[in-house]
Amino acid sequence: MKGAFEGKVAIVTGGTSGIGYAVSEELLKRGATVRVIGSRKESVEKAKAALGKYKKAAFEAVDVRDYAAVEKMVADCVAESGRIDYLFNNAGISQKNPYEKSTLADWKEMIDINLWGVIHGVNAALPVMQKQKSGHIINTSSVAALYGTPYQTLYVATKNAVIGLSDCLYYEYLQKNIFFTVVCPGDVATPIFKGQIPEGAVPVEEAAQIILTGVEKRERMIVFPDLMKEVLEKCKDPVFRDLMHKNSEMESRLVFASPEYQEFLAGQKRR
Ligand SMILES: NC(=O)c1ccc[n+]([C@@H]2O[C@H](COP(=O)([O-])OP(=O)(O)OC[C@H]3O[C@@H](n4cnc5c(N)ncnc54)[C@H](OP(=O)(O)O)[C@@H]3O)[C@@H](O)[C@H]2O)c1
């Protein structure tokens, strides 16, 4: 059976590491032509050494902050492969520190990469997709953006904006055969954690399978792992949100195991 990605053309920004790398490899395994993008020459060379065995892989160093470079990335893809079916705007950086320690320069870097990077990708790919009358843009946000997450203000602000723009564009382009998906992962075991991988983080290969299954179904929003869907559902209750905030240093998994959570459940029954 021909899979959804066989013979298709994809660009994956942040494809040289973590989630983007795993998505790139899985797309290649499924028969897609993939342009694997990183910002640094070294990361691109490293990805090339590992994924170069796939004949349909191409590699390019592109800083997503630079619109001219992103336009060239899309133009190169069209020149070499004739089209672009999927653009994964996945490149991103994270931040976790008290707000008063965040400078305006930190804000600028976060917005430039996590938000302008996505806008640049969307603006460069949309004219091509409109001409083709088809395409799918997948933007990576985070579950952290779906409820207040102390110490991650800069990150959450940008990832929230990514959800907002993806949601608007989903409805605006649905009738034009151009699809938008926003991916909201929980913890995934990648170098973004700088060696401090949280317990229970999803392995990257599993994350790639979940993401591609959702993309194949053209889901508007992909949230994983399932535990996070449960957390989001519970967050509709302000009492649970308070509990999450009180335990903001605690992983959601542990919140569910805490005595406070048992009290919350008992309180829910009484209400
Ligand atoms: N891991 C998680 O738990 C998690 C959870 C929620 C959301 N996310 C999101 O998922 C995405 C991927 O994260 P990850 O965990 O896989 O991170 P990662 O392993 O650190 O990979 C980040 C990727 O982004 C690229 N990148 C960074 N700045 C760039 C720039 N200015 N231009 C182009 N590429 C750039 C990096 O390439 P270079 O090294 O060459 O710059 C690298 O390929 C991010 O948007 C992140 O916010 C991750």
Pocket test for ligand 1, best of 16, 19, 111 (most atoms within 8 A of CB): 19
Domain borders along the chain are 9-232, 237-271
Q: 126 vs 12, 73, 75, 88, 130, CA distance in Å? A: 15, 13, 12, 13, 6
Nearest alpha carbon to residue 56 among 90, 17, 25: 25
Q: Which CATH superfamily is domain 9-232 in?
A: NAD(P)-binding Rossmann-like Domain (3.40.50.720)
The answer, yes or no, to whether any atom of ligand 1 lies below 6 A from the CB of 96, is: no
pLDDT surpasses 80 at 78: yes
- pLDDT tens column, 208-228: 999 999 999 999 999 999 988
Q: Does position 62 have pLDDT exceeding 80, yes or no?
A: yes
Looking at per-residue confidence, does 236 or 124 come out higher?
124
Sign of the four-CA dihedral 72, 74, 77, 79: negative
Query: Considering only CA atoms, which residue is closest to atom 17 of ligand 1?
Result: 192
Lookup: tokens for 197: 């991988």
Span of 49-63, 107-121, 166-180, 241-255 with lowest mean pLDDT: 241-255
Distance 38 CA to ligand 1 centre (A): 9
Q: Is the pLDDT of residue 250 over 60?
A: no
Closest-lying ligand 1 atom to the alpha carbon of residue 198:
3
Dmax over CA atoms of the chain, in Å, equals: 64
Q: Catalytic pick from 147, 155, 170, 173? A: 155
Which comes out higher in pLDDT, residue 129 or 264?
A: 129
Q: If you write DSSP's letter for every residue of 23-73 in order, what string do you get?
A: HHHHHHHTT-EEEEEESSHHHHHHHHHHHTTSTTEEEEE--TT-HHHHHHH
Task: For residue 231, name the pLDDT band (cuts at 50, 70, 90).
Answer: confident
DSSP 99: G
How many other CB atoms are there within 10 angstroms of residue 30's CB atom?
17
Beta partners for 11?
Answer: 35, 87
Active site (annotated) includes residue 155:
yes
For 87-122, how does the pLDDT look when each residue is reduced to its tens digit (9 = 90+)?
999 999 998 888 999 999 999 999 999 999 999 999
Which one-letter DSSP state was computed for residue 22? H
Point out which residues pair with 222 in neighbouring strands: 183
CA 194 / ligand 1 centre spacing (Å): 12
Neighbours of 254 (CB within 10 A): 13
14 lines ligand 1 (CB under 6 A): yes
Question: What are the pLDDT digits (tens) for 36-61?
Answer: 999 999 999 999 999 999 999 999 99
Tokens found for residue 65: 């902050």
Section 146-153 average pLDDT:
84
* 263 CA to centre of ligand 1 in angstroms: 38
- Ligand 1 atom with the smallest distance to the CA of 141 is 7
CA-proximal residue: ligand 1, atom 8 (nearest): 142
**How far does the centroid of ligand 1 lie from the alpha carbon of residue 143, in Å?**
15
State how beta strands 135-140 and 57-61 pair. unpaired
Average pLDDT across the chain, whole number: 92
For ligand 1, whether the C-beta of 17 sits within 6 Å is yes
Q: How confident is the model at residue 253 (pLDDT cuts 50, 70, 90)?
A: low
SS3 breakdown of the chain: % helix, strand, coil, rounded to 5?
55, 15, 30
Distance 183 CA to ligand 1 centre (A): 13
Residue 243 has a CB neighbour count (10 Å cut-off) of 19
